[in-house]
Structure 1
Protein backbone atom coordinates (compact mmCIF):
# COMPACT_ATOMS: atom_id res chain seq x y z
CA UNK A 1 0.00 0.00 0.00
CA UNK A 2 1.32 3.42 -0.97
CA UNK A 3 0.43 6.41 1.18
CA UNK A 4 0.31 9.77 -0.57
CA UNK A 5 2.55 12.65 0.38
CA UNK A 6 1.19 15.21 2.81
CA UNK A 7 -1.04 17.81 1.20
CA UNK A 8 -0.69 21.36 2.48
CA UNK A 9 -3.05 23.16 0.09
CA UNK A 10 -6.75 22.39 0.36
CA UNK A 11 -7.25 23.47 -3.26
CA UNK A 12 -4.76 20.94 -4.60
CA UNK A 13 -6.12 18.11 -6.81
CA UNK A 14 -7.01 14.70 -5.46
CA UNK A 15 -3.86 12.95 -6.66
CA UNK A 16 -1.95 14.87 -3.98
CA UNK A 17 -4.00 13.28 -1.24
CA UNK A 18 -6.74 15.78 -0.26
CA UNK A 19 -10.33 16.21 -1.29
CA UNK A 20 -10.66 19.69 -2.77
CA UNK A 21 -13.12 22.55 -3.09
CA UNK A 22 -14.34 21.12 -6.40
CA UNK A 23 -15.94 18.15 -4.66
CA UNK A 24 -13.26 15.50 -5.09
CA UNK A 25 -13.18 13.17 -2.12
CA UNK A 26 -11.00 10.45 -0.61
CA UNK A 27 -13.03 7.32 0.13
CA UNK A 28 -11.57 4.58 2.34
CA UNK A 29 -13.48 1.30 2.04
CA UNK A 30 -13.34 -1.37 4.76
CA UNK A 31 -14.55 -4.92 4.11
CA UNK A 32 -16.51 -7.21 6.42
CA UNK A 33 -15.72 -10.58 7.97
CA UNK A 34 -14.12 -13.10 5.63
CA UNK A 35 -14.03 -10.65 2.74
CA UNK A 36 -11.24 -8.42 1.51
CA UNK A 37 -10.55 -5.35 -0.59
CA UNK A 38 -11.68 -7.40 -3.60
CA UNK A 39 -15.38 -7.13 -2.64
CA UNK A 40 -15.38 -3.39 -3.43
CA UNK A 41 -14.15 -3.74 -7.01
CA UNK A 42 -17.31 -2.31 -8.61
CA UNK A 43 -17.49 0.62 -6.18
CA UNK A 44 -13.77 1.36 -6.63
CA UNK A 45 -14.29 1.60 -10.40
CA UNK A 46 -17.39 3.79 -10.09
CA UNK A 47 -15.81 6.21 -7.61
CA UNK A 48 -12.54 6.47 -9.52
CA UNK A 49 -14.47 6.94 -12.76
CA UNK A 50 -16.25 9.85 -11.04
CA UNK A 51 -12.86 11.44 -10.35
CA UNK A 52 -12.45 10.52 -6.69
CA UNK A 53 -9.59 8.98 -4.76
CA UNK A 54 -10.23 5.52 -3.32
CA UNK A 55 -8.25 3.45 -0.83
CA UNK A 56 -9.18 -0.19 -0.15
CA UNK A 57 -7.49 -2.26 2.51
CA UNK A 58 -7.09 -5.91 3.44
CA UNK A 59 -7.29 -6.23 7.20
CA UNK A 60 -5.02 -8.86 8.78
CA UNK A 61 -5.83 -12.38 7.68
CA UNK A 62 -8.19 -11.13 4.96
CA UNK A 63 -7.92 -10.84 1.20
CA UNK A 64 -4.30 -11.24 0.11
CA UNK A 65 -2.90 -10.46 3.57
CA UNK A 66 -0.76 -13.47 4.42
CA UNK A 67 -1.58 -13.71 8.14
CA UNK A 68 -3.32 -16.87 9.33
CA UNK A 69 -6.78 -15.91 10.73
CA UNK A 70 -6.37 -18.53 13.48
CA UNK A 71 -3.31 -16.66 14.76
CA UNK A 72 -5.07 -13.30 15.13
CA UNK A 73 -6.27 -13.02 18.70
CA UNK A 74 -6.92 -9.30 19.16
CA UNK A 75 -8.99 -6.77 17.28
CA UNK A 76 -6.11 -4.28 17.37
CA UNK A 77 -3.98 -6.80 15.47
CA UNK A 78 -6.75 -7.50 12.94
CA UNK A 79 -7.48 -3.80 12.44
CA UNK A 80 -3.82 -2.68 12.27
CA UNK A 81 -3.77 -2.07 8.47
CA UNK A 82 -6.54 0.55 8.80
CA UNK A 83 -5.02 2.16 11.88
CA UNK A 84 -1.59 2.29 10.19
CA UNK A 85 -3.09 3.90 7.11
CA UNK A 86 -4.99 6.55 9.06
CA UNK A 87 -1.94 7.30 11.20
CA UNK A 88 0.04 8.19 8.08
CA UNK A 89 -2.51 10.65 6.70
CA UNK A 90 -1.66 14.28 7.25
CA UNK A 91 -3.64 16.00 10.00
CA UNK A 92 -5.13 18.32 7.39
CA UNK A 93 -6.79 15.50 5.45
CA UNK A 94 -10.15 13.95 6.20
CA UNK A 95 -11.56 10.85 4.54
CA UNK A 96 -15.00 9.41 3.89
CA UNK A 97 -14.69 6.14 5.83
CA UNK A 98 -17.03 3.37 4.65
CA UNK A 99 -17.44 0.03 6.42
CA UNK A 100 -19.47 -3.04 5.47
CA UNK A 101 -20.82 -5.63 7.90
CA UNK A 102 -18.19 -6.37 10.59
CA UNK A 103 -16.20 -3.51 9.05
CA UNK A 104 -18.45 -1.30 11.15
CA UNK A 105 -16.36 -2.30 14.17
CA UNK A 106 -13.32 -0.87 12.38
CA UNK A 107 -15.21 2.38 11.82
CA UNK A 108 -16.08 2.73 15.51
CA UNK A 109 -12.46 1.92 16.40
CA UNK A 110 -11.26 4.61 13.98
CA UNK A 111 -13.69 7.18 15.42
CA UNK A 112 -12.13 6.65 18.85
CA UNK A 113 -8.54 6.90 17.64
CA UNK A 114 -8.59 9.10 14.53
CA UNK A 115 -11.94 10.87 14.64
CA UNK A 116 -10.33 14.15 13.59
CA UNK A 117 -9.33 12.55 10.27
CA UNK A 118 -12.84 11.30 9.41
CA UNK A 119 -15.22 13.61 7.55
CA UNK A 120 -18.07 11.09 7.84
CA UNK A 121 -18.35 7.42 8.78
CA UNK A 122 -20.72 5.38 6.59
CA UNK A 123 -21.99 2.08 8.00
CA UNK A 124 -23.27 -0.12 5.14
CA UNK A 125 -25.27 -3.06 6.53
CA UNK A 126 -22.69 -2.80 9.30
CA UNK A 127 -22.26 -3.42 13.01
CA UNK A 128 -22.66 0.06 14.49
CA UNK A 129 -21.77 0.07 18.19
CA UNK A 130 -20.12 3.04 19.92
CA UNK A 131 -17.68 0.94 21.97
CA UNK A 132 -17.67 -2.43 20.23
CA UNK A 133 -18.67 -5.59 22.09
CA UNK A 134 -18.45 -4.36 25.69
CA UNK A 135 -21.63 -5.94 27.03
CA UNK A 136 -24.11 -8.73 26.43
CA UNK A 137 -26.45 -6.13 24.95
CA UNK A 138 -23.81 -5.20 22.39
CA UNK A 139 -23.56 -8.83 21.24
CA UNK A 140 -27.34 -9.06 21.02
CA UNK A 141 -27.48 -5.86 18.96
CA UNK A 142 -24.56 -6.32 16.60
CA UNK A 143 -23.65 -9.99 16.24
CA UNK A 144 -25.50 -11.89 13.49
CA UNK A 145 -27.01 -15.25 14.40
CA UNK A 146 -25.46 -17.58 11.82
CA UNK A 147 -24.46 -20.55 13.96
CA UNK A 148 -26.44 -23.05 11.87
CA UNK A 149 -24.80 -22.05 8.59
CA UNK A 150 -21.26 -21.54 9.87
CA UNK A 151 -18.27 -23.88 9.99
CA UNK A 152 -15.75 -23.32 12.76
CA UNK A 153 -12.00 -23.88 12.82
CA UNK A 154 -10.00 -24.82 15.91
CA UNK A 155 -6.50 -23.46 15.52
CA UNK A 156 -5.71 -24.20 19.18
CA UNK A 157 -7.11 -27.71 19.08
CA UNK A 158 -10.65 -29.11 19.45
CA UNK A 159 -10.51 -28.87 23.25
CA UNK A 160 -10.34 -25.05 22.98
CA UNK A 161 -12.86 -22.51 21.65
CA UNK A 162 -12.94 -21.96 17.87
CA UNK A 163 -10.44 -19.45 16.51
CA UNK A 164 -12.05 -18.65 13.15
CA UNK A 165 -15.22 -19.29 11.17
CA UNK A 166 -16.73 -19.10 7.70
CA UNK A 167 -20.23 -19.45 6.30
CA UNK A 168 -20.57 -22.95 4.84
CA UNK A 169 -19.96 -22.65 1.06
CA UNK A 170 -23.32 -24.09 -0.01
CA UNK A 171 -25.11 -21.40 2.03
CA UNK A 172 -23.04 -18.41 0.96
CA UNK A 173 -25.10 -17.41 -2.06
CA UNK A 174 -28.39 -17.90 -0.22
CA UNK A 175 -27.27 -15.93 2.85
CA UNK A 176 -24.85 -13.29 1.54
CA UNK A 177 -25.65 -12.69 -2.13
CA UNK A 178 -29.19 -13.85 -2.89
CA UNK A 179 -29.94 -10.71 -4.96
CA UNK A 180 -26.44 -10.35 -6.44
CA UNK A 181 -25.29 -11.45 -9.91
CA UNK A 182 -24.30 -15.14 -9.89
CA UNK A 183 -20.84 -14.34 -11.26
CA UNK A 184 -20.13 -12.13 -8.22
CA UNK A 185 -21.29 -14.88 -5.88
CA UNK A 186 -19.01 -17.31 -7.71
CA UNK A 187 -16.07 -14.91 -7.42
CA UNK A 188 -16.72 -14.46 -3.72
CA UNK A 189 -16.90 -18.22 -3.12
CA UNK A 190 -13.32 -18.48 -4.41
CA UNK A 191 -11.99 -15.62 -2.28
CA UNK A 192 -13.78 -15.74 1.09
CA UNK A 193 -11.48 -16.71 3.96
CA UNK A 194 -12.25 -17.70 7.56
CA UNK A 195 -12.75 -14.70 9.83
CA UNK A 196 -10.77 -14.40 13.09
CA UNK A 197 -13.36 -15.03 15.80
CA UNK A 198 -11.06 -14.25 18.72
CA UNK A 199 -10.24 -10.85 17.25
CA UNK A 200 -13.90 -9.87 16.93
CA UNK A 201 -14.61 -10.98 20.49
CA UNK A 202 -11.98 -8.49 21.73
CA UNK A 203 -13.39 -5.55 19.74
CA UNK A 204 -13.77 -3.33 22.81
CA UNK A 205 -12.80 0.34 22.57
CA UNK A 206 -12.05 2.79 25.36
CA UNK A 207 -15.08 4.76 26.25
CA UNK A 208 -15.11 8.40 25.20
CA UNK A 209 -17.52 11.12 26.21
CA UNK A 210 -20.78 11.40 24.30
CA UNK A 211 -19.65 14.82 23.11
CA UNK A 212 -16.46 13.34 21.63
CA UNK A 213 -18.36 10.64 19.76
CA UNK A 214 -20.72 13.24 18.28
CA UNK A 215 -17.84 15.03 16.54
CA UNK A 216 -17.76 12.49 13.70
CA UNK A 217 -20.93 12.46 11.58
CA UNK A 218 -22.34 8.99 10.93
CA UNK A 219 -24.69 7.64 8.27
CA UNK A 220 -26.29 4.21 8.33
CA UNK A 221 -27.25 2.48 5.06
CA UNK A 222 -29.90 -0.15 5.74
CA UNK A 223 -30.18 -3.23 3.53
CA UNK A 224 -33.82 -4.26 3.52
CA UNK A 225 -33.41 -7.82 2.22
CA UNK A 226 -30.47 -8.67 4.45
CA UNK A 227 -30.19 -12.29 5.65
CA UNK A 228 -27.00 -11.77 7.67
CA UNK A 229 -27.61 -8.63 9.70
CA UNK A 230 -31.38 -8.78 9.84
CA UNK A 231 -33.33 -5.56 9.42
CA UNK A 232 -34.57 -5.63 13.02
CA UNK A 233 -30.95 -5.75 14.23
CA UNK A 234 -30.00 -2.84 11.99
CA UNK A 235 -32.92 -0.81 13.31
CA UNK A 236 -32.11 -1.71 16.91
CA UNK A 237 -28.53 -0.44 16.49
CA UNK A 238 -29.81 2.73 14.85
CA UNK A 239 -32.13 3.31 17.82
CA UNK A 240 -29.34 2.53 20.31
CA UNK A 241 -26.78 4.91 18.76
CA UNK A 242 -28.66 7.31 16.51
CA UNK A 243 -26.70 8.34 13.40
CA UNK A 244 -26.99 11.69 11.66
CA UNK A 245 -28.79 10.17 8.69
CA UNK A 246 -30.29 6.84 7.62
CA UNK A 247 -30.67 5.60 4.05
CA UNK A 248 -32.30 2.39 2.80
CA UNK A 249 -31.51 0.07 -0.08
CA UNK A 250 -33.66 -2.84 -1.29
CA UNK A 251 -30.55 -4.99 -1.24
CA UNK A 252 -29.17 -8.22 0.12
CA UNK A 253 -26.25 -8.08 2.58
CA UNK A 254 -23.87 -7.15 -0.25
CA UNK A 255 -25.07 -3.97 -2.02
CA UNK A 256 -21.60 -3.50 -3.56
CA UNK A 257 -22.58 -6.50 -5.74
CA UNK A 258 -26.37 -6.30 -5.93
CA UNK A 259 -26.90 -2.52 -6.28
CA UNK A 260 -23.50 -0.95 -6.98
CA UNK A 261 -24.81 2.05 -8.94
CA UNK A 262 -27.25 2.95 -6.17
CA UNK A 263 -24.60 2.52 -3.47
CA UNK A 264 -22.20 4.69 -5.49
CA UNK A 265 -24.85 7.41 -5.72
CA UNK A 266 -25.51 7.24 -1.98
CA UNK A 267 -21.80 7.51 -1.16
CA UNK A 268 -21.40 10.61 -3.33
CA UNK A 269 -24.48 12.23 -1.81
CA UNK A 270 -23.20 11.51 1.70
CA UNK A 271 -19.77 12.91 0.90
CA UNK A 272 -21.23 16.13 -0.48
CA UNK A 273 -23.58 16.50 2.49
CA UNK A 274 -21.03 16.01 5.27
CA UNK A 275 -17.77 17.40 3.87
Structure 2
Protein backbone atom coordinates (compact mmCIF):
# COMPACT_ATOMS: atom_id res chain seq x y z
CA UNK A 1 0.00 0.00 0.00
CA UNK A 2 1.17 3.50 -0.87
CA UNK A 3 0.08 6.76 0.73
CA UNK A 4 -0.87 9.47 -1.76
CA UNK A 5 -1.10 13.13 -0.76
CA UNK A 6 -2.94 15.10 -3.46
CA UNK A 7 -2.84 18.89 -3.29
CA UNK A 8 -5.40 20.96 -5.21
CA UNK A 9 -4.88 24.23 -7.04
CA UNK A 10 -6.18 27.77 -6.63
CA UNK A 11 -9.90 28.30 -5.95
CA UNK A 12 -10.56 24.61 -5.34
CA UNK A 13 -10.40 22.09 -2.51
CA UNK A 14 -10.47 18.43 -1.56
CA UNK A 15 -13.70 18.02 -3.55
CA UNK A 16 -11.92 18.11 -6.91
CA UNK A 17 -10.05 14.87 -6.09
CA UNK A 18 -13.15 12.81 -5.22
CA UNK A 19 -13.05 10.57 -8.31
CA UNK A 20 -9.31 9.92 -8.20
CA UNK A 21 -9.43 9.46 -4.44
CA UNK A 22 -12.08 6.78 -4.79
CA UNK A 23 -10.19 4.97 -7.55
CA UNK A 24 -6.94 4.92 -5.60
CA UNK A 25 -8.69 3.79 -2.43
CA UNK A 26 -10.33 0.94 -4.31
CA UNK A 27 -6.82 -0.33 -5.02
CA UNK A 28 -6.06 -0.35 -1.29
CA UNK A 29 -3.98 2.81 -1.11
CA UNK A 30 -4.12 5.57 1.47
CA UNK A 31 -5.32 8.82 -0.09
CA UNK A 32 -5.20 12.21 1.61
CA UNK A 33 -6.57 15.35 -0.05
CA UNK A 34 -6.13 18.32 2.30
CA UNK A 35 -8.06 21.49 1.60
CA UNK A 36 -5.80 24.53 1.91
CA UNK A 37 -6.72 27.20 4.46
CA UNK A 38 -9.33 29.67 3.24
CA UNK A 39 -10.67 27.58 0.36
CA UNK A 40 -13.75 25.39 -0.25
CA UNK A 41 -15.11 24.00 3.05
CA UNK A 42 -12.43 26.04 4.83
CA UNK A 43 -13.41 29.28 3.07
CA UNK A 44 -14.65 30.65 6.39
CA UNK A 45 -10.96 30.87 7.40
CA UNK A 46 -9.97 33.15 4.53
CA UNK A 47 -8.35 36.34 5.85
CA UNK A 48 -5.60 38.70 4.79
CA UNK A 49 -3.22 36.74 7.00
CA UNK A 50 -3.42 33.58 4.88
CA UNK A 51 -0.18 33.40 2.88
CA UNK A 52 2.00 30.96 1.00
CA UNK A 53 3.58 29.69 4.23
CA UNK A 54 0.08 28.94 5.58
CA UNK A 55 -0.61 26.60 2.68
CA UNK A 56 2.82 24.98 2.88
CA UNK A 57 2.18 24.33 6.57
CA UNK A 58 -1.24 22.81 5.78
CA UNK A 59 0.45 20.04 3.83
CA UNK A 60 3.73 19.75 5.75
CA UNK A 61 1.84 19.39 9.03
CA UNK A 62 -0.37 16.66 7.57
CA UNK A 63 2.75 14.74 6.55
CA UNK A 64 4.37 15.27 9.95
CA UNK A 65 1.37 14.51 12.18
CA UNK A 66 0.37 11.43 10.19
CA UNK A 67 4.05 10.39 10.26
CA UNK A 68 4.01 9.64 6.55
CA UNK A 69 7.03 8.00 4.94
CA UNK A 70 7.66 7.05 1.33
CA UNK A 71 4.66 9.00 0.00
CA UNK A 72 3.60 10.00 -3.49
CA UNK A 73 3.15 13.78 -3.32
CA UNK A 74 1.08 15.33 -6.11
CA UNK A 75 0.44 19.01 -6.75
CA UNK A 76 -2.05 20.36 -9.29
CA UNK A 77 -1.70 23.86 -10.75
CA UNK A 78 -0.94 26.29 -7.87
CA UNK A 79 -0.52 23.17 -5.73
CA UNK A 80 2.75 22.57 -7.57
CA UNK A 81 4.28 25.48 -5.67
CA UNK A 82 3.07 23.96 -2.40
CA UNK A 83 4.37 20.43 -2.97
CA UNK A 84 7.69 21.82 -4.22
CA UNK A 85 8.22 23.58 -0.89
CA UNK A 86 7.05 20.59 1.13
CA UNK A 87 9.41 18.25 -0.74
CA UNK A 88 12.23 20.75 -0.25
CA UNK A 89 11.75 20.62 3.53
CA UNK A 90 10.76 16.95 3.90
CA UNK A 91 12.82 15.28 1.18
CA UNK A 92 13.35 12.07 3.20
CA UNK A 93 9.60 11.37 3.33
CA UNK A 94 8.93 11.59 -0.42
CA UNK A 95 9.03 8.60 -2.77
CA UNK A 96 7.63 10.41 -5.80
CA UNK A 97 6.98 14.08 -6.51
CA UNK A 98 4.48 14.72 -9.29
CA UNK A 99 3.57 18.06 -10.83
CA UNK A 100 0.13 17.84 -12.39
CA UNK A 101 -0.22 20.63 -14.98
CA UNK A 102 1.42 22.68 -12.27
CA UNK A 103 3.70 25.57 -11.45
CA UNK A 104 7.31 24.61 -10.70
CA UNK A 105 8.71 27.88 -9.33
CA UNK A 106 12.42 28.50 -9.01
CA UNK A 107 13.88 30.03 -5.88
CA UNK A 108 13.04 33.73 -5.69
CA UNK A 109 10.21 33.65 -8.23
CA UNK A 110 6.49 33.89 -7.49
CA UNK A 111 3.69 32.04 -9.26
CA UNK A 112 2.52 35.32 -10.82
CA UNK A 113 5.86 35.82 -12.53
CA UNK A 114 5.17 32.80 -14.74
CA UNK A 115 1.87 34.20 -16.05
CA UNK A 116 1.41 36.61 -18.96
CA UNK A 117 1.95 40.24 -17.93
CA UNK A 118 3.23 38.96 -14.56
CA UNK A 119 -0.33 38.05 -13.58
CA UNK A 120 -1.74 41.55 -14.05
CA UNK A 121 -5.16 40.13 -14.97
CA UNK A 122 -5.43 38.33 -11.63
CA UNK A 123 -4.28 41.40 -9.74
CA UNK A 124 -6.92 43.45 -11.54
CA UNK A 125 -9.60 40.89 -10.66
CA UNK A 126 -8.56 41.10 -7.02
CA UNK A 127 -8.91 44.88 -7.08
CA UNK A 128 -12.27 44.84 -8.86
CA UNK A 129 -13.95 41.95 -7.05
CA UNK A 130 -11.82 40.91 -4.08
CA UNK A 131 -11.02 44.00 -2.07
CA UNK A 132 -7.51 43.98 -3.49
CA UNK A 133 -6.40 40.89 -1.58
CA UNK A 134 -8.38 37.92 -2.87
CA UNK A 135 -8.88 36.64 -6.40
CA UNK A 136 -12.28 35.46 -7.66
CA UNK A 137 -12.27 32.11 -9.46
CA UNK A 138 -11.60 31.81 -13.15
CA UNK A 139 -14.54 30.22 -14.91
CA UNK A 140 -14.59 26.49 -15.55
CA UNK A 141 -14.77 27.28 -19.25
CA UNK A 142 -11.53 29.26 -19.05
CA UNK A 143 -9.86 26.23 -17.47
CA UNK A 144 -11.14 23.92 -20.20
CA UNK A 145 -13.34 21.86 -17.89
CA UNK A 146 -15.61 19.39 -19.69
CA UNK A 147 -19.14 20.77 -20.27
CA UNK A 148 -20.83 18.25 -17.97
CA UNK A 149 -18.74 19.27 -14.95
CA UNK A 150 -18.39 22.99 -15.71
CA UNK A 151 -21.48 24.23 -13.79
CA UNK A 152 -20.49 22.14 -10.74
CA UNK A 153 -16.93 23.49 -10.79
CA UNK A 154 -18.20 27.07 -11.02
CA UNK A 155 -20.46 26.47 -7.99
CA UNK A 156 -17.72 24.85 -5.93
CA UNK A 157 -14.89 27.30 -6.59
CA UNK A 158 -14.08 29.99 -4.01
CA UNK A 159 -11.91 33.07 -3.60
CA UNK A 160 -8.13 32.59 -3.41
CA UNK A 161 -5.75 34.79 -1.36
CA UNK A 162 -3.65 36.92 -3.71
CA UNK A 163 -0.60 37.00 -1.42
CA UNK A 164 0.00 33.26 -1.88
CA UNK A 165 0.83 33.76 -5.56
CA UNK A 166 2.70 37.05 -5.08
CA UNK A 167 5.31 35.79 -2.60
CA UNK A 168 8.60 34.51 -4.08
CA UNK A 169 9.43 30.83 -3.60
CA UNK A 170 12.08 29.92 -1.05
CA UNK A 171 13.62 26.76 -2.43
CA UNK A 172 16.95 25.36 -1.23
CA UNK A 173 17.06 22.64 -3.89
CA UNK A 174 16.45 19.41 -1.97
CA UNK A 175 13.13 18.98 -3.77
CA UNK A 176 14.98 18.37 -7.03
CA UNK A 177 16.88 15.45 -5.50
CA UNK A 178 13.74 13.36 -4.97
CA UNK A 179 14.46 10.08 -6.72
CA UNK A 180 11.27 9.99 -8.78
CA UNK A 181 9.96 13.28 -10.21
CA UNK A 182 7.44 13.68 -13.00
CA UNK A 183 5.29 16.19 -14.84
CA UNK A 184 1.89 15.46 -16.38
CA UNK A 185 0.74 18.02 -18.94
CA UNK A 186 -2.86 18.64 -19.94
CA UNK A 187 -2.54 19.19 -23.67
CA UNK A 188 -6.19 19.98 -24.35
CA UNK A 189 -5.89 23.61 -23.23
CA UNK A 190 -4.60 26.15 -25.74
CA UNK A 191 -1.97 28.69 -24.71
CA UNK A 192 -1.40 26.85 -21.47
CA UNK A 193 0.99 28.56 -19.03
CA UNK A 194 2.09 25.09 -17.92
CA UNK A 195 3.81 24.06 -21.14
CA UNK A 196 6.87 25.99 -19.94
CA UNK A 197 7.15 23.64 -16.97
CA UNK A 198 6.84 20.57 -19.16
CA UNK A 199 9.91 21.94 -20.94
CA UNK A 200 11.65 22.31 -17.57
CA UNK A 201 10.85 18.67 -16.82
CA UNK A 202 12.36 17.62 -20.14
CA UNK A 203 15.57 19.55 -19.51
CA UNK A 204 15.95 18.04 -16.06
CA UNK A 205 15.30 14.49 -17.18
CA UNK A 206 12.11 14.00 -15.18
CA UNK A 207 9.57 11.54 -16.54
CA UNK A 208 6.79 13.18 -18.53
CA UNK A 209 3.26 12.24 -19.54
CA UNK A 210 0.39 14.01 -21.30
CA UNK A 211 -3.39 13.70 -21.11
CA UNK A 212 -5.65 14.98 -23.89
CA UNK A 213 -7.96 17.08 -21.73
CA UNK A 214 -8.38 20.44 -20.06
CA UNK A 215 -6.54 21.71 -16.99
CA UNK A 216 -8.80 19.86 -14.54
CA UNK A 217 -7.64 16.40 -15.58
CA UNK A 218 -8.79 14.81 -12.32
CA UNK A 219 -12.32 15.65 -13.49
CA UNK A 220 -11.93 15.20 -17.24
CA UNK A 221 -9.90 11.96 -17.22
CA UNK A 222 -9.87 10.49 -13.69
CA UNK A 223 -9.32 6.90 -14.81
CA UNK A 224 -6.38 7.75 -17.03
CA UNK A 225 -4.85 10.00 -14.39
CA UNK A 226 -5.23 7.34 -11.71
CA UNK A 227 -3.49 4.82 -13.97
CA UNK A 228 -0.51 7.19 -14.29
CA UNK A 229 -0.36 7.73 -10.53
CA UNK A 230 -0.49 3.99 -9.87
CA UNK A 231 2.72 3.56 -11.87
CA UNK A 232 4.56 5.19 -8.96
CA UNK A 233 3.49 2.53 -6.41
Q: TM-score, normalised by structure 1?
A: 0.74
**Equivalent residue for 2:115, pick from 116, 129, 143:** 143
8 Å contact kept, 1:255–1:263? yes
Cα pair 1:95 1:118 within 8 Å, conserved: yes
Q: 1:49 & 1:223 partners in 2: Cα distance?
A: 25
CA distance 1:173–1:100, shift in 2 (3 Å): same
CA RMSD of aligned residues (A): 2.7
> CA contact under 8 A between 2:109 and 2:169: conserved in structure 1?
no
Map of 2:217 onto structure 1: 255
Gaps of 5+ in 1: 1-23
- For the pair 1:85 / 2:62, whether they are aligned, the reply is yes
How far the C-alpha of 1:143 sits from its partner, in A, is 3.3
State the partner residue of 1:204: 169
Asked if 2 retains the 8 angstrom alpha-carbon contact of 1:29 and 1:56, the reply is yes
CA contact (8 A) 1:155 1:163 kept: no
**What is the SS of the residue equivalent to 2:165?**
helix
Q: Choose from 177, 199, 204 the match for 1:214.
A: 177
- Give, in whole Å, the separation in 2 of the partners of 1:106 and 1:127: 9
Shift of residue 244, structure 1, vs aligned partner: 2.2
Tell me which of 108, 114, 134 is aligned to 1:164.
134
Partner of 1:246: 208
Which structure 2 residue ranges, 5 or more long, are not aligned?
A: none
Indicate how the Cα distance of structure 1 residues 208 and 261 shifts in structure 2: closer, same or farther if over 3 A, else same: closer
Q: Distance in 1 between matches of 2:83 and 2:97?
A: 7
Sort the Cα spacing of 1:243 and 1:202 in 2 relative to 1 into closer, same or farther, 3 A.
farther
CA-to-partner distance for each residue in 1:159-191, whole Å, 9 max, x for gaps?
xxx2111235xxx1321134x252x22221111
- 1:195 is displaced (CA, Å) by 1.0
**Cα deviations across residues 112-147 of structure 1 (Å, max 9, x unaligned)?**
11111111011110001243xx148x754x336675
Asked whether the equivalents of residues 29 and 98 of structure 1 are also in contact (C-alpha less than 8 Å), the reply is: yes
Structure of greater Rg = 1
Q: Distance in 1 between matches of 2:48 and 2:91?
A: 29
Q: Please give the alpha-carbon distance, in whole angstroms, between the structure 1 residues aligned to 2:171 and 2:84.
A: 11
Q: CA deviation at 1:216?
A: 4.2
CA distance in 1, matches of 2:14, 2:190: 22
* Equivalent position of 1:186 in the other structure: 151
Partners of 1:47 and 1:217 lie apart in 2 by: 19
CA 1:71 to 1:195, structure 2 compared with 1: closer, same or farther past 3 Å? same
Q: How many residues align?
A: 231
Offset of 1:111 from its aligned partner?
Answer: 1.2
Q: CA offsets per residue over residues 35-63 of structure 1, 9 Å max, x none?
A: 00000011011111122110110111112
